[in-house]
Structure 1
Amino acid sequence: MPQNTVQPSGDQTSSAKREVRFEHSLSLPTLLEELQISLLVSTYQAGKLIALGAGDGQLRQTFHNFDRPMGVALSDDLQSMAVAARDKVWLLRNDPNVAGQMTPPVGGCYLTRSASVTGEIQAHEMAWAGGELWVVNTLFSCLSTLHPDYSFVPRWRPSFVSELAPEDRCHLNGLAVVDGRPRYVTAMGESDVAGGWREGKASGGVLIDVQSNQTIAGGFAMPHSPLWHAGYVWLLDSGRGLLLRVDPESGQVSNVARLPGYTRGLVIHQNFAFVGLSKIRETSTFGGVPIAEDRARLKCGFGVVNLLTGELAAQFEFAAGVDEIFDLAVVPGGLETAIRGPFAHQDGEKTIWTVPGPHS
């Protein structure tokens, strides 16, 4: 990957600067331009939400501080963005009027508008369903929604979890929406005791149908990021570095691609799958997981898989400053996406004020 860029960026938890170095294949900006998309990448380890776009054959990037960002969710109309953070969910709104005045032009401009304080529930992936934001509440082993009067509202939990408790019993982590309703989730184990998923993490991961509350496929190593696309459930067998496809009727699992990292964070646009890659820490969490045997070769960044051929179409790799990726999101309809996050002043961004029009 011949191109290399250095991006010094601030960290809201420290006065020190974090040097982030990365490189990418020459095909990446071309692909983003052809697809007319930009890409959002969250890294809780570095405390950043990264917006990647392209123009004139060049990759363009901005780094935005968030407090331990995890899941990123865009509403179907692209007007709302939610970012799961350490103890809250940040909510941003797209302002087309502001976007139209920015130089260079951008496809959207998301401004932070509010936050819902949840406490540290270990919120992982999120998704908008029927106009409502659903949060994978990993600490309480349930799917929940937000409410101004409560930390969260429990809406669903796996049948093998007997009660609501802050014990991370099964490490519920991923959510796929089908026809406007939560439909599939991933969990690292079918456990009903505190932290019980850890014992069998190398092969105990499951894909669960929310509607029937039945496990439809299993045997995964720390699975993440289920996604509904073209009549199949796609997910990541993270502990093996795999992108998989699951037939929801038969439960048959097909291997689509193997990538050089702990696969976490998945989005599909047209015939391309954008797959997040992470290095793994030397902790007991990853002990015994198959990919730990290849720790030295693992990369952090993302790969783009052509689903028609199974081949790698483009790649992006962090050489320094970032070791773990959590989520990816595609913003269609524009080459770049502007963001003013909750710590915009630390991002070096100018404040944007908006007010109602004279007749509002």
Structure 2
Amino acid sequence: MTENPEKRNVTALKPPAGPREKKPTQISCSRGLHAFMERNGLSFGFTSYQSGRLYLVGRLPRGKVSFHERHFVHAMGVAATPQRLYLATQYQIWRLENVLAAGQKMGDFDRNYVPRNAQTTGDVDAHELGVEKGGRVIFVNTKFSCLSTFSLTHSFKPIWKPPFISRLAPEDRCHLNGLAMADGEARYVTAVCRSDIITGWRDRRASGGLVMDVRTDRMVSEELSMPHSPRIHDGKLWVLNSGRGELCRVDEETGAREVVTFLPGFARGLAFHGPYAFVGLSLPRDGSFSGLELDGELAKRDAEPWCGVQIVDTRNGNIVEWIRLKGEVRELFDVFVLPGVSCPKATGLLDGSIRTDISIENWSPDDRRDAPSGEKKEAVA
């Protein structure tokens, strides 16, 4: 779908046909979003597990913004590069590959991410993802309170658990949720608390949150409120203190936190490009998100909560651009940036073109059968 910033930046996205009619989602964006993406040479995306959507945001001609959506049930964490997306869903982790060659386009789109492989993990409530230097995918296995990787024969292979978790059990004890990668390895995780009983985190949401160093099992920062999305950027540790609506910079040695800005929503999903932080926001809901300091902070500012993405200049805490969603979509999970990409799209599982858009990897009789795939180029038929 496209959006004209000269017409109040509003677009209605109709959800795929289903057993019942749903309210369309109204998407609005800041007037300068297109120029911001063009100036910084990027596009970006975000997921909504509540509505089961992967959204890709790009630039169209004449200052228009492209919002491209595809349905993936319970879309969660994304590990993204300009050529590949790994996407966690309800019981599988998908690998989507860009099939367009450099300089090739499909209409206005310069990337088309096509599902090529799905690892079936079962419903382990996979949250954020990372890819190690050697290419191994690791994911936050929230239901079993551990970090995991793929298994050839089983649902998953655990590779780390917090020391306060006594055993692996499908009980979501501490609500392990976020993963920071650095230099191709897992560095930090976030959890809602230290609980070692089934769903114990629900009683510790207000101030039990923590950031932990995976390499040493050291507590880096504590007394957070439902923290999410730890990230390393420009040598600094960042985290979303979601229950208080804060984007924070954290001293890795002392754990001291510096609040960079207030965010008017439950923050999950954090990505960076230069000095800019892309933050996903969700509407508070009864249950997990209720009774947090965020409610009071919004009331203090006479403000309504947002669902959308806000782009923060981390040098001064100002919100420089934004996207806001109203209607069916109320909660987002992850945000990712695609540098060097102008207008991305994806082929969805419910998209009829997945049966007919067939791409062929270039081949000649002289090619060795065991040649590394990275040495070959792709073409689209």
**Corresponding residue for residue 324 of structure 1:** 331
**Structure 1 position 268, deviation (Å):** 0.7
Selected match of 1:339 from 339, 342, 346: 346
Indicate whether 1:128 and 2:123 are aligned.
no
* Paired-residue identity, %: 37
Indicate whether 1:230 and 2:237 are aligned.
no
**Corresponding residue for residue 211 of structure 2:** 207
For normalisation by structure 1, the TM-score amounts to 0.93
**Corresponding residue for residue 160 of structure 2:** 156
**SS in structure 1 opposite 2:104?**
helix
**Structure 1 position 198, deviation (Å):** 1.3
**Corresponding residue for residue 69 of structure 2:** 63
Contact 2:43 2:337 in 1 (8 A): yes
**Structure 1 position 289, deviation (Å):** 1.4
**SS in structure 1 opposite 2:101?**
helix
* Structure 1: segments with no counterpart, 5+ residues: none
Selected match of 2:52 from 41, 47, 52: 47
**Corresponding residue for residue 80 of structure 1:** 84
Aligned AA for 1:54?
R
* Structure 2: segments with no counterpart, 5+ residues: 368-381
**Corresponding residue for residue 178 of structure 1:** 182
**SS in structure 2 opposite 1:9?**
coil
**SS in structure 2 opposite 1:124?**
strand
Count of matched residue positions in the alignment of Structure 1 and Structure 2: 353
**Corresponding residue for residue 145 of structure 1:** 149
Contact 1:33 1:54 in 2 (8 A): yes
CA RMSD of aligned residues (A): 1.9
**Corresponding residue for residue 377 of structure 2:** none
**Corresponding residue for residue 120 of structure 2:** 117
Inter-CA distance 242–329: structure 2 relative to 1 (3 Å threshold): same
Please say which structure displays the higher CA radius of gyration: 2
**Structure 1 position 98, deviation (Å):** 8.7
For normalisation by structure 2, the TM-score amounts to 0.88
**Structure 1 position 127, deviation (Å):** 1.2
Aligned AA for 1:306?
D
**Counterparts of residues 232-251 of structure 1 (less than 5 Å):** 232-251=236-255
Inter-CA distance 115–98: structure 2 relative to 1 (3 Å threshold): farther
Contact 1:10 1:17 in 2 (8 A): no
Indicate whether 1:19 and 2:20 are aligned.
no
| Structure 2: distance between partners of 1:238 and 1:325 | 13
Indicate the larger mover: 294-303 or 53-62: 294-303
**Corresponding residue for residue 379 of structure 2:** none
Deviations 1:58-89 (CA, angstroms, capped at 9, x unpaired) = 211111010110001125xx432111001111
**SS in structure 2 opposite 1:198?**
helix
| Structure 2: distance between partners of 1:333 and 1:98 | 11
**Corresponding residue for residue 30 of structure 1:** 35
**Structure 1 position 97, deviation (Å):** 2.7
